[in-house]
Structure 1
Amino acid sequence: MALSIVRLGLRSVINFERNAAVISVTSVPKQLKLIHTKPACNGSVCYLADLPRDSELRSDRGSALRRYSKHHGRPEEDRRKQSDSDSDSDSDTECKGYDRTEFWRRKMRTVHNILDVDKDGLISFNDFILFAERFKSLGHLTNQQAEEFTSIIKLTWEEQWGAIDPYNFVTVEQYLEDMHHVLNDKSLKKRAYRWLPYLFKAVDKDKSGFISVHEFKLFFKCLGLDNEKAAVAFAVIDVNGDGKLSQKEFVKLGKEFFCTEDEKKVSKMFWGPLIH
């Protein structure tokens, strides 16, 4: 009789532990939308644990796993080595080396804020598409130019931030790190600004090959900035005072904004007032 009681007690303990394990496994929350932090890598795929950002997801309990592309999962040391080995020797960039000035970082934060069209603090592929649609909606691009613009925007995202999926987001710090990498990689740098001519063509309303201050205001409107800021910026970047910018000047200013750390360059006004 005593032996039967002992066996019954052991069976109860085993069943209790088994049920607890099942509850533990099934209570893991579903995959949620997270922001970039330091990922942990496992082969070609990287994961991280964090709390959901969006308010509508905060009711879900616990932490969740987020998938990252191999590009973002690459350890910082390896990325630094590749940046050094691919360092661009072209004279149009002044941001050599791994460290950046606070001035350059302010400029990158400014662009991140512009590309964050829905203003949720993160850049997504959807933001990129919304950004392109603002310029296309002006109606000054031909059908072919509009298609090319969309294709280039898509390709730029894939080359710089990997997969197009609803869980791929770029924080401010991630954007700064990735732009540093782009500027020190020859192949990426040459392709990173190929969408700038389409911005010019989209605001060149009269198709004259030049944009006036009024057309530059269209550019700032698409960036989400007001006319007053556009007028001030145009007065600064129009260094020869002829009241117009050619496509070559426009693209040069846009590229220089990303590449230079010289605070005296007028290109610092190209994307509007710098944020802190």
Structure 2
Amino acid sequence: MAASLVRLGLRSIALNLERTAALLSTTTVQNQIKLIHSKATCTGTVCYLPEREAELDRGAYRRYSKQHGRPDQHRRKHDSDSASESDSDTECKGFDRSEFWRRKMRTVHNILDVDKDGLISFSDFQLFADRFKALGHLDDEQAKEFTAIIKLTWEEQWGAIDPYNFVTVEQYLEDMHHVLSDRSLKKRAHRWLPYLFKAVDKDKSGYISVAEFKLFFQCLGLSNEHAAVAFAVIDTNGDGKLSLKEFVKLGKDFFFTEDESKVSKMFWGPLIDV
């Protein structure tokens, strides 16, 4: 008799456990269904999805990115730590640009990499601007504007200003392709060019002579010989000077065109081979 009662008790406990498990399973499925059909709350650049209704009351959210095109401010650090990205992977992302265009972008990356560590950082950007400001030909207002535009350009193209945000050659190629594919970014990307012109226009004549163009190349870290050769090529009308309009157009065309016959290919000096 006692043994029968024990067996009945154990069976009752087992049935209760089965019912509890089924109830928990149903509740979990219902919560998952609620989660799938929950409406995200968006704040402009980030959206939040409620984990479950009980947590919603306590303000608990799961965060996910709403952006698909541009990377967030930590992408540089993340990509640099990744060992999975090969040269072929970069080329696959690489956009259908010619090898000539890629050589030009590598050339500019090398120029902007002032400390020659293989990466462009905001510190490099500042050092690059400081070379031109150090010539002393920009007035205080122009120097202030130049500094602000350099900072804004960095933030728009490469994000946060911090020591861990840097741009590799591959990233620069990818980002410049993106800039040229975005009409708004393309229009704003090189608005610092007029300040380079004003910085080397020593006599403030509104034109740059070959001697002043040599100052430009010196600030790029290039030789007077390279400057003389480049100036002879880009001074297509042979008047011995470049206007602000000519200078800016040459600077922009360097980035925009893939035509190897264009003289703008000489604007930033000899193209690197790698």
1:271 aligns with 2:268: yes
TM-score, with normalisation over the residues of structure 1? 0.67
1:125 to partner: Cα distance = 0.2
Q: Distance in 2 between matches of 1:231 and 1:49?
A: 40
Letter in 2 for 1:164: I
| Of 159, 162, 165, the match for 2:162 | 165
Match of 1:6 in 2: none
Match of 1:43 in 2: 64
The 5-angstrom pairing of residues 115-134 of structure 1 reads 115-134=112-131
Unaligned runs of 5+ in 1: 1-41, 53-62, 64-75, 81-96
The 5-angstrom pairing of residues 67-106 of structure 1 reads 98-106=95-103
Letter in 2 for 1:249: E
| Of 182, 194, 200, the match for 1:203 | 200
Deviations along 1:58-97, one digit per CA (max 9) or x if unpaired, are xxxxx9xxxxxxxxxxxx9xxx9xxxxxxxxxxxxxxxx9
Counting aligned pairs with the same residue, the percent is 80
Q: 1:264 is paired with a residue of what secondary structure?
A: coil
Which of structure 1's runs of 4+ aligned residues deviate more than 6 A? none
Q: Distance in 2 between matches of 1:150 and 1:246?
A: 23
Q: Distance in 2 between matches of 1:229 and 1:50?
A: 33
1:193 aligns with 2:190: yes
Match of 1:110 in 2: 107
Match of 1:174 in 2: 171
1:50 to partner: Cα distance = 6.1
Match of 1:138 in 2: 135
Deviations along 1:29-49, one digit per CA (max 9) or x if unpaired, are xxxxxxxxxxxxx83466637
Q: Distance in 1 between matches of 2:164 and 2:101?
A: 28
Q: Distance in 1 between matches of 2:169 and 2:198?
A: 29
Deviations along 1:178-207, one digit per CA (max 9) or x if unpaired, are 000000101111100100000000000000
| Equivalent pairs, count | 194
RMSD: 2.1
Match of 1:148 in 2: 145
1:112 to partner: Cα distance = 0.1
Q: 1:43 is paired with a residue of what secondary structure?
A: strand
| Of 211, 214, 219, the match for 2:216 | 219
Structure with the largest fraction of helix = 2
Give the greater-gyration-radius structure (CA): 2
Q: 1:140 is paired with a residue of what secondary structure?
A: coil
